[in-house]
Copies of this chain bind each other. A is one copy, B any other.
Amino acid sequence: MSRDRFTYIVGGKAGEGIKKAGSSAANFFASMGRHVFQMDDYPSLIRGGHNFVAVTTATREITSHFMKADLVVGLDKRSHETHRDHVAEGGVVVYNSDVVESGQGIGVAMSTEAQKYPNPGLRIGVSGAAALSAVIGLSADEMAAFITREYKRDLENNIPFATDIYRAVAEKAGGKFPLGDGDRERAMMTGNQAIALGVAAAGLDVYLAYPMTPATTILHYLAAHDQELGVVTMQPESEIAVINIALGSAAAGARTAVGTSGGGFALMEEAISLAGMAEVPILAILSARSGPSTGVPTYTEQGDLRFALSPGHGEFARIVASPGTVREAYGLAAELLELAWRFQSPAVLLTEKHLSESRMTLDLDVEDAAWAEPAMHDGGGYKRYADMEDGVSPLLFPPSDELIQWTSYEHDELGITTEDAAAIARMHDKRQRKTETVLEHLRTMKTVNRFGQGKATIFTYGSTTMSVLEALRVSDIEATVVQPVYLKPFPVWELEEYRDANPIVIEQSAAGQFESLLAEKARIDAGAHIRRYDGRPFEPEELAREIERVAQ
């Protein structure tokens, strides 16, 4: 029963090595030259509970996990009960017969086997790799190689343990889903890795963050590679410290970025307004989770859209964009850092848990990244806020014999505080001209993605783009998908042709924020919409059915 697309779901308690079970499988598929998409679903806890990873692979591009799996491995009772029905027709279910009484599928005494080795609790996750190896028809040696490469440590126990599990599964379902090789091996990364690499590629010098899911792993990744990259990372005492230290850093000439989720971003808003007034280049990464407030910290949602569009009080240029795929996140992160520096303005990369923490193969040209390089002042007579026609004053950093004064107060060109009516209006005009300049610049850029061609028009954005594209791939739906990458300024000039398209608007929001944004900014009224807001990303087959339903 060879299928090109193959999905593997492995579930168990946090701390049992579930993430590893998922990522090792993903790595293995990637090593075969196949495309892979890995989605981690985990609650907000450290040990126990119920985690699962859904990994889908194909020899064609793939941009979503699936919830109908060819192989379901449940390491504990809850996982078996939760996921046994996620098996696709003809698929294989493997469960831990030590903890499940009357399971459905192939019961393997995983706990009993694990007890034979030290640290049984840590070992059990290796069952996943074993079962997978059996089902896709690896030989015992191939399996051992797989485990050696992925687990690296404690192989003298891991391999014999895995072999036991492998045998038990192979007996019943060995080689049931042989997988063909793909065309070539690709890099694989999460959205947060792509963002981290993107900003690094754009010349980042300093990254500051306070831990907050789902943005935290950007900090972890950059901290792990700080010396290699030459990026300084620091975890200050709060998000307010993060953003204010960041603005100081940027004003001293360091390409600086920060990352957080909604609650932390909220705390940064006063300083975003400062960046607007003082004209400080700063990139803020806002990775949303299910909200409002603390919400559901490890689950996904697109509920922060409007919030992200108007951070900070007062009037100044704001740039907000959201990547549709992990691949796009790399280039967009770089582009936004570049725009922040080009326009000395705050830029926001809005994304969601689903993109931040999902992992996929991609074809990445590292060169495909902008380089943040400010227009520097030359010669004497420096004025920080020189009233340039395009609203953008050249930069200069200390040490310098010139006077360089950044300020949160309304100011004259030199940066001296003013309360004079004409001077206030003049600086407002300058900032408005800059806003116009940003808009003009965006007009020259690619700000909207279009995919496919078809009678129906679908509008979506952010990580939901990945779900929509996959839904189209797995169905007969013919549709044009339009994905605005830039959300502020909103690229209405690209969207005029859709004025009467009555599109289907798909987003992960209960309030339909994207739908109303489209209606308000581009006067494109939705013909129908599909919304999901239970913390889970869309599942492509379900989504395809929904699209078919509403398209009628």
Residues of A within 8 A of B (CB): 43-44, 240, 261-267, 269-270, 272-274, 276-278, 288, 290-296, 298-299, 301, 303-304, 306-307, 309-316, 407-410, 418-419, 421-422, 424-425, 428-429, 431-432, 435, 509-511, 513, 520-521, 523, 533-536
Contacts and interface: CB of A to CB of B under 8 A. Distances in A.
B310 A314 contact: no
Given A315-B511, A421-B535, A292 B266 contact: no
Contacts of A290: 410, 424
A235 to B, nearest CB: 19
A295 B265 contact: no
Given A269-B269, A278-B293, 9 more contacts: A266-B270, A266-B312, A277-B292, A277-B295, A294-B407, A295-B408, A419-B535, A421-B534, A422-B534
Contact of A316 (B265, B292, B312, B523): B292
Contacts of A421: 534-536
A9 to B, nearest CB: 16
A92 B295 CA distance: 65
A315 B263 contact: no
Given A294-B409, A313-B292, A534 B277 contact: no
21 contacts: A262-B313, A266-B312, A274-B294, A277-B295, A288-B313, A290-B410, A291-B314, A292-B314, A293-B314, A293-B409, A298-B419, A304-B313, A307-B314, A315-B513, A410-B535, A421-B534, A421-B535, A422-B534, A425-B533, A431-B510, A432-B511
Nearest to A511: B315
A419 B262 contact: no
Nearest to A536: B421
Contacts of A510: 315, 425, 428-429, 431-432
A269 B262 CA distance: 10
4 nearest A-B pairs in the assembled complex, by CB-CB distance: A292-B314, A291-B314, A262-B313, A520-B520
Nearest to A240: B267
B267 A293 contact: no
B293 A276 contact: yes
Contacts of A309: 306, 310
B520 A435 contact: no
Contacts of A266: 269-270, 272-273, 312-313
Contacts of A521: 520
